[in-house]
Amino acid sequence: MTSINDATGSSFEEHLQATTMPPPGPDHFNARRAVWCKARPDRTQPTDTTGQRERLEAVLNQEGAVESDDVWEVQGVKQAWSRIMDGRRLRQRLPLRVVVRALTRDA
């Protein structure tokens, strides 16, 4: 197996294509798993945040927040929900638990 190019921001598929894989079987599985488990370069997150993510997390962690119309309309949960449902990227990364809480309510 050849080494993987350490191109910053490369996807799993690009890493996989850059790797010589053994024929299908246990060795193939192990080689593919090694590519998947290889540490990826740190992707820097913007350090200048507006606090919007923190507010959204705090709001969604409150009891009954997901069912609250005020939280839904005023606090930005609806915008995040709409972006996810439309298949668009969120402006900022959110923890999966926050995304799941936002998706648990029907519009």
Torsions phi, psi for 64 (to 5 deg) = 75, 10
10-residue averages of pLDDT along the chain (107 residues): 45 83 94 82 56 77 77 74 84 77 69
pLDDT for position 93: 77
Cα separation values, 22 from 9, 14, 28, 41, 47, Å? 25, 17, 5, 25, 42
What percent helix, strand, coil does the chain show, rounded to 5?
A: 45, 0, 55
Q: Is the pTM above the cut of 0.85?
A: no
